[in-house]
């Protein structure tokens, strides 16, 4: 199964986004998908280009709006596996309203955020993920606003699948994406993805020194919500692995009464003229 296409990514050499592209391609193949069964919807930013770099249905959408499109796509065609993707600026600034509501809605899609803690495409401004004191062209005296904690927000919004990885750890990242695809409901995967061109603080070495892999944490239980929240707060959000999963809650589409499972395009929507008139009358 071939999820590679002939498009050469124009990311900077060394950008963390390359690994995320490779992990999505490997995970899709490992779970047995065919290219025509996968759709990748992206927002705007360097990361937003990913929808054109994978041999699947691709939709390069608008800034902060990948999630509404991805959810609509899934609800219209439940046979598709849908992955939404974008950067931390895209998902946690302009798109944050959509992110929290998509999390609590729990439509069965996977959301992968390429978190480089800066705006790369516009050449290096602070993002909601930048640390206090972070100096860029937009904050020459250092960022004043506090850093947003997306995973804690996800937990507080009722997430059913929360994971985090690092683009250097392709094995872990691939496996988490596989688990996210298989999870019934909204799976949220934040990935530390260094911007080698504009972020000289949060580098590969910096992440390696600061990350705690949950595999090394004795007796960690990813089904325990309080343990997940506590570990996130203790580590300042620097843990990687499967942080939390709730397998008991059904996805949005599996709870809507009378929602037919077959794709809209395959449903017989023929209606008699009498029934059509009745329907129109209801809306008058
Ligand atoms: Fe990657 Fe940064 Fe280059 Fe954008 S500017 S492609 S995020 S390294």
Question: Where in the chain are the domains?
Answer: 17-282
Distance 87 CA to ligand 1 centre (A): 11
**What does the alpha-carbon distance between residue 72 and residue 52 come to, in Å, rounded to a whole number?**
20
Distance 183 CA to ligand 1 centre (A): 30
CA–CA distance from 116 to each of 203, 222, 277 (Å)? 9, 25, 54
**What does the alpha-carbon distance between residue 143 and residue 172 come to, in Å, rounded to a whole number?**
32
Measured N-to-C along each axis, helices 66-76 and 96-105 cross at an angle, to the nearest 10 degrees, of 30
The candidate with the shortest Cα–Cα distance to 191, out of 165, 173, 217, 211, is 165
- For atom 6 of ligand 1, the residue with the nearest CA is 11
**What does the alpha-carbon distance between residue 93 and residue 74 come to, in Å, rounded to a whole number?**
24
ipTM computed for the complex: 0.99
Distance 12 CA to ligand 1 centre (A): 5
Distance 201 CA to ligand 1 centre (A): 14
Helix, strand, coil distribution of the chain in percent, nearest 5: 35, 15, 45
CA–CA distance from 271 to each of 52, 265, 278 (Å)? 39, 15, 11
CATH of range 17-282; options 3.90.79.10, 2.60.40.10, 3.40.50.970, 3.40.50.1000: 3.40.50.970
Distance 197 CA to ligand 1 centre (A): 6
Residue 165 contacts residue 27 (beta carbons within 8 Å)? no
Tens of pLDDT along the chain (284 residues)? 699 999 999 999 999 999 999 999 999 999 999 999 999 999 999 999 999 999 999 999 999 999 999 999 999 999 999 999 999 999 999 999 999 999 999 999 999 999 999 999 999 999 999 999 999 999 999 999 999 999 999 999 999 999 999 999 999 999 999 999 999 999 999 999 999 999 999 999 999 999 999 999 999 999 999 999 999 999 999 999 999 999 999 999 999 998 888 998 888 878 888 988 998 999 88
**What does the alpha-carbon distance between residue 139 and residue 171 come to, in Å, rounded to a whole number?**
36
The answer, yes or no, to whether any atom of ligand 1 lies below 6 A from the CB of 90, is no
The answer, yes or no, to whether any atom of ligand 1 lies below 6 A from the CB of 11, is yes
Distance 97 CA to ligand 1 centre (A): 25
The answer, yes or no, to whether any atom of ligand 1 lies below 6 A from the CB of 15, is yes
The two most distant CA atoms of the chain are separated, in Å, by 69
Which ligand 1 atom minimizes the distance to the CA of 116? 7
Which ligand 1 atom minimizes the distance to the CA of 11? 6
What number of other Cβ atoms are within 10 A of residue 270's Cβ? 7
For 191, the token pair is 């990935």
- For atom 5 of ligand 1, the residue with the nearest CA is 120
DSSP 15: -
Provide CB contacts within 8 A for 73, sequence distance 6+.
39, 41, 59, 80, 82
- For atom 1 of ligand 1, the residue with the nearest CA is 15
């Amino acid at each position: 199964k071939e999820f590679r296409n002939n498009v050469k990514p124009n990311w900077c050499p060394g950008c963390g986004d390359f690994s995320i592209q490779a992990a999505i391609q490997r995970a899709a193949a490992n779970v047995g998908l065919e290219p025509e069964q996968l759709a990748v919807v992206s927002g705007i930013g360097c990361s937003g280009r990913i929808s054109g770099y994978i041999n699947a249905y691709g939709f390069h959408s608008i800034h902060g709006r990948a999630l509404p499109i991805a959810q609509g796509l899934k609800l219209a065609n439940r046979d598709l596996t849908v992955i939404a993707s974008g950067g931390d600026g895209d998902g946690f600034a302009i798109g944050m309203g959509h992110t929290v509501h998509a999390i609590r809605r729990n439509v069965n899609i996977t959301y992968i955020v390429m978190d480089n803690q800066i705006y790369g495409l516009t050449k290096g401004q602070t993002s909601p993920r930048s640390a206090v004191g972070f100096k860029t062209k937009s904050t020459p005296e250092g960022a004043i606003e506090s850093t947003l904690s997306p995973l804690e927000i996800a937990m507080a919004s009722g997430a059913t699948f929360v994971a985090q990885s690092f683009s250097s750890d392709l094995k872990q990242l691939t496996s988490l994406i596989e688990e996210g695809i298989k999870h019934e409901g909204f799976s949220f995967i934040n990935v530390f993805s260094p911007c080698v061109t504009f972020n000289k603080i949060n580098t590969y070495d910096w992440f390696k020194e600061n990350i705690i892999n949950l595999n090394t944490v004795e007796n960690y239980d990813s089904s325990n919500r309080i343990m997940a929240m506590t570990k996130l707060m203790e580590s300042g959000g620097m843990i990687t692995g499967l942080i939390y999963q709730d397998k008991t809650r059904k996805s949005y589409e599996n709870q809507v009464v009378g929602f037919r499972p077959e794709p809209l395009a395959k449903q017989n929507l023929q209606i008699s003229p009498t029934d059509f008139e009745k329907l129109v009358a209801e809306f008058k």
